[in-house]
């Protein structure tokens, strides 16, 4: 902790001084024997993205600190998920540390027993720095990293809240206030839509599967819960129908044509071109929106929490973590690496670059860390506010991909004329047996 202010400045100066930093960091954690596993070689498999970049860029600091050699590779998300599952199934994965997407893989990994229980490591003062305590992680993080027995199977790395991006210039031009509720959002979007000029009030994911991450924001704020106490899926209930109606209204009446095929990339393109006034998506898109080379709306973007629904205000939350393969022979060394990856220093770097949001409150709420954030202050505020209303954005089940595909397709089909209640019912008739089968096996 004492080294923290030093790390801040070091960061701003660049990574050149990083080696010296780890030396100054050492005395503060004298209890942890960082060098105990010197000479070990670790393999890490990462999903491509800013988290992986941040780890790879600074990995030399970890090697200097521990003497552990790290080989890591980044693979595009979809392929990385497949590769991990196939290798873990084989029982002899080529990696020690695995980067997992909680919202897709949590239940699958738990049920298959692929991850090491790190609860004992966290209680061992020779392995865990005093500042890494369970209570420092946000509620969503703890929900994600613990199994139903309360064992910690991974360290929460980065969280993704959904927020509302809006185009201040278009809002001003039409004299519209920033919406606080869904009703206000629909009204605002209608005013902001000007088909003659080719500008639209709202844009968001319409593509099957991808669209579920947006839809669940509506579902949660209409008071929806994914599963009942017995594990039955509830996403075709009245809350889901209302949420789908809102989704249908927004994406058919006030969104650009073709939105039915939009993923985040197409949505972002429409928003950065100034064609759409509002966009609800993950918090991680601020860097491209504020990049003059890629965006026409630099400095004009407003950031705020997702508007409230009739039954509450939540931010649908997703996240990823780092786990240790149960088959790994270097579990302690791997644990040191995970710990370093979620450390204050690394977390601060991630947040300040806008590449992700640490699950640890001590990082997010540290004024010094906040001061170094390169994104607009409003963005940071929306992150902090979202953290307070965070709720898991997908059901914690094994067949998440099937859920996203089937229910996502139902939701998408309402954009081309399908009736919300009928489509949802049809999708759940297909989904329920799949869910039951997955839990029985």
Partner 1 sequence: MSALTQSTPAAAQSDAAPEKELRPPSYWPFVVPALVVVLAIIIFPWVFTIWMSLNEWKVGSPTTFVGVSNYLRLTSDPRFVEAVGHTLVYTVLSVVLPLVFGTLAAVVFHQKFAGRGFLRGIFIMPMMATPVAIALVWTMMFHPQLGVLNYLLSLVGIPAQLWVFHPATVIPSLVLVETWQWTPLVMLIVLGGLAAIPTEPYESAQIDGASFWQAFRFITLPLIMPFLFIAGMIRMIDAVKSFDIIFAITQGGPGSASETINLYLYSVAFIYYDLGYGSAIAVIFFLLIVALAALMLYARQRMLWTEIASGA
Sign of CA dihedral 140, 144, 148, 153: negative
189/200 Cα distance (integer angstroms): 7
162 bridge partner residues: 282
Give the range of 33-41, 312-320, 322-330, 409-417 binding partner 1 by CB under 8 A.
Answer: 409-417
Give the range of 147-155, 235-243, 267-275, 327-335 binding partner 1 by CB under 8 A.
Answer: 267-275
Compute the least distance from the CB of residue 402 to partner 1, in Å: 5
User: For residues 32 and 84, which CB has a smaller minimum distance to partner 1 in the complex?
Assistant: 84
Cα–Cα nearest to 36, from 335, 345, 346: 335
217/222 Cα distance (integer angstroms): 9
Alpha-carbon torsion angle 31, 37, 43, 49, nearest 10:
20
Give the range of 66-74, 241-249, 360-368, 397-405 binding partner 1 by CB under 8 A.
Answer: 397-405
- Determine, following the binding rule CB under 8 A, whether residue 207 of this chain makes contact with partner 1: yes
225/237 Cα distance (integer angstroms): 9
- Determine, following the binding rule CB under 8 A, whether residue 412 of this chain makes contact with partner 1: yes
- Determine, following the binding rule CB under 8 A, whether residue 89 of this chain makes contact with partner 1: yes
User: For residues 75 and 139, which CB has a smaller minimum distance to partner 1 in the complex?
Assistant: 75
Alpha-carbon torsion angle 57, 63, 69, 71, nearest 10:
-10
- Determine, following the binding rule CB under 8 A, whether residue 415 of this chain makes contact with partner 1: yes
Contact 70, 42 (CB under 8 A): yes
Other Cβ atoms closer than 10 A to 122: 17
Query: Binders of partner 1: how many residues, by CB under 8 A?
Result: 42
User: For residues 237 and 256, which CB has a smaller minimum distance to partner 1 in the complex?
Assistant: 256
H-helix segments, 91-152: 102-112, 119-123, 139-145
From the list 77, 401, 425, 436, which residue makes contact with partner 1 (rule: CB under 8 A)?
A: 401
User: For residues 108 and 328, which CB has a smaller minimum distance to partner 1 in the complex?
Assistant: 108
Strand-pair category, 315-324 with 276-282: unpaired
Instruction: Return the DSSP state at 94.
Output: S
Give the range of 84-92, 176-184, 240-248, 355-363 binding partner 1 by CB under 8 A.
Answer: 84-92
From the list 82, 94, 232, 365, which residue makes contact with partner 1 (rule: CB under 8 A)?
A: 82
Give, for 13, the enclosing helix (H) or strand (E). helix 4-13
- Determine, following the binding rule CB under 8 A, whether residue 77 of this chain makes contact with partner 1: no
x/- track of binding to partner 1 for residues 350-389 (CB under 8 A): ----------------------------------------
Give the range of 39-47, 58-66, 85-93, 378-386 binding partner 1 by CB under 8 A.
Answer: 85-93
Instruction: Return the DSSP state at 136.
Output: G
User: For residues 256 and 393, which CB has a smaller minimum distance to partner 1 in the complex?
Assistant: 256
Strand-pair category, 315-324 with 390-392: parallel
Compute the least distance from the CB of residue 397 to partner 1, in Å: 12
Site residues for partner 1, 236-265, by CB under 8 A, read: 256-261
- 404 three-state secondary structure: helix
User: For residues 224 and 408, which CB has a smaller minimum distance to partner 1 in the complex?
Assistant: 408
Compute the least distance from the CB of residue 273 to partner 1, in Å: 8
Compute the least distance from the CB of residue 82 to partner 1, in Å: 6
What would you measure as the largest C-alpha separation in the chain, in angstroms?
Answer: 68
From the list 80, 108, 154, 167, which residue makes contact with partner 1 (rule: CB under 8 A)?
A: 108
Tokens representing 169?
A: 């210039």
Burial of 72 per CB tally in 10 Å (0-12, 13-18, 19+):
middle
Instruction: Return the DSSP state at 325.
Output: B
Other Cβ atoms closer than 10 A to 11: 20
From the list 72, 147, 252, 430, which residue makes contact with partner 1 (rule: CB under 8 A)?
A: 430
- Determine, following the binding rule CB under 8 A, whether residue 135 of this chain makes contact with partner 1: no
Site residues for partner 1, 308-347, by CB under 8 A, read: none
Compute the least distance from the CB of residue 362 to partner 1, in Å: 35
Instruction: Return the DSSP state at 204.
Output: -
From the list 36, 48, 60, 111, which residue makes contact with partner 1 (rule: CB under 8 A)?
A: 111
Compute the least distance from the CB of residue 209 to partner 1, in Å: 8
From the list 13, 14, 135, 416, which residue makes contact with partner 1 (rule: CB under 8 A)?
A: 416
Measured in residues, the chain has a length of: 441
100/395 Cα distance (integer angstroms): 16
Binding site for partner 1 (CB under 8 A): 82, 85-86, 88-89, 108, 111-112, 114, 198, 206-209, 256-261, 266, 269-270, 273, 275, 398-399, 401-402, 405-406, 409-410, 412-413, 415-416, 426, 430, 437-438, 441
């Amino acid at each position: 902790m004492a080294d923290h202010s030093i790390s801040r400045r070091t960061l701003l100066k660049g990574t050149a001084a990083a080696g010296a930093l780890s030396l100054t960091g050492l005395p503060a954690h004298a209890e942890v024997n960082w060098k105990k596993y010197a000479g070990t070689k670790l393999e890490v498999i990462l999903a491509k993205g800013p988290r992986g970049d941040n780890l790879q860029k600074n990995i030399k600091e970890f090697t200097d600190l521990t003497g552990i050699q790290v080989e890591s590779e980044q693979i595009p998300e979809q392929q990385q998920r497949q590769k991990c599952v196939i290798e873990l199934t084989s029982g002899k994965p080529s990696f020690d540390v695995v980067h997992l997407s909680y919202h897709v893989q949590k239940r699958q990994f738990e049920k298959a027993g692929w991850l090491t229980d790190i609860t004992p490591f966290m209680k061992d003062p020779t392995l865990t720095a005093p500042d890494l305590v369970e209570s420092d992680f946000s509620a969503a993080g703890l929900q994600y990293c613990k199994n139903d027995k309360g064992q910690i199977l991974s360290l929460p790395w980065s969280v993704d809240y959904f927020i509302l991006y809006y185009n201040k210039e278009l809002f001003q031009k039409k004299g519209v206030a920033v919406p606080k509720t869904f009703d206000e959002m629909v009204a605002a979007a209608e005013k902001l839509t000007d088909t003659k000029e080719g500008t639209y009030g709202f844009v968001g994911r319409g593509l099957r599967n991808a669209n579920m991450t947006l839809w669940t924001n509506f579902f949660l704020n209409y008071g929806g819960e994914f599963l009942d106490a017995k594990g039955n899926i509830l996403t075709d209930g009245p809350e889901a129908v209302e949420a789908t109606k809102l989704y249908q209204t927004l994406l058919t009446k006030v969104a650009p044509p073709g939105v039915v095929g939009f993923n985040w990339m197409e949505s972002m393109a429409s928003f950065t071109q100034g064609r759409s006034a509002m966009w609800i998506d993950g918090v991680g898109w601020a860097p491209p929106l504020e990049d003059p080379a890629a965006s026409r709306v630099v400095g004009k973007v407003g950031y705020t929490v997702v508007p409230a629904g009739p039954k509450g205000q939540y931010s649908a939350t997703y996240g990823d973590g780092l786990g240790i393969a149960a088959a790994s022979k270097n579990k302690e060394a791997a644990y040191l690496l995970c710990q370093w990856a979620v450390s204050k220093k690394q977390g601060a770097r991630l947040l300040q670059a806008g590449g992700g949001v640490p699950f640890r409150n001590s990082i997010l709420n540290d004024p010094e860390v906040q001061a170094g954030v390169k994104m607009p202050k409003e963005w940071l505020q929306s992150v902090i506010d979202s953290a307070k209303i965070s709720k898991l954005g997908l059901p914690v089940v094994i067949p998440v991909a099937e859920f996203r595909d089937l229910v996502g397709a139902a939701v998408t089909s309402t954009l081309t004329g399908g009736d919300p209640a009928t489509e949802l019912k049809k999708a759940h008739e297909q989904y329920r047996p799949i869910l039951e089968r997955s839990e029985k096996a």
